Homo-oligomer: A and B are copies of this chain.
């Protein structure tokens, strides 16, 4: 169930701005599979283009973090935000990028521990130690 329509390939083919993004997703990912996220976003071709551009810049382009590490960070945020679809789709993406069962287990352990201590800290309302401040660290 969605709050917007999910575009089929036939529908996407009739909107050039959508077809162009779908084609690029398939080319970049070397796969014919277009997951529901893009079919839902396609109801707004401008948002579709903007979001795909950002995914390419942040998740795919070379950077200081490797692609698998980025996927694990993505899963961590999505878990804390209770975004079911995001957890499913990015766990699949992480596996496609080489996530092993042992790494997945470690990832879950860190997420679970952070969830626990986040709640402890919020319940105790602990003041931040001044040692952690970086606001004046540029010289």
Contact of A2 among B70, B89, B134 (CB under 8 A): B134
Shortest CB–CB separation between residue A38 and chain B, in angstroms? 10
A73 to B112 CA separation, bound complex (whole angstroms): 11
Interface residues of A in 49-89 (CB under 8 A from B): 50-51, 54-55, 57-59, 63-65, 69-70, 72-89
Which label, helix, strand, loop or mixed, suits the secondary structure of the A interface?
A: helix
Shortest CB–CB separation between residue A79 and chain B, in angstroms? 4
Interface size on A, residues (CB 8 A): 90
Quick one: which of A122, A124, A130 has the most chain B CB within 10 A? A124
Interface residues of A in 87-123 (CB under 8 A from B): 87-92, 100-123
| Residues of A near any B CB (own CB < 8 A) | 1-7, 11, 33, 35-37, 40-41, 43-44, 46-47, 50-51, 54-55, 57-59, 63-65, 69-70, 72-92, 100-138
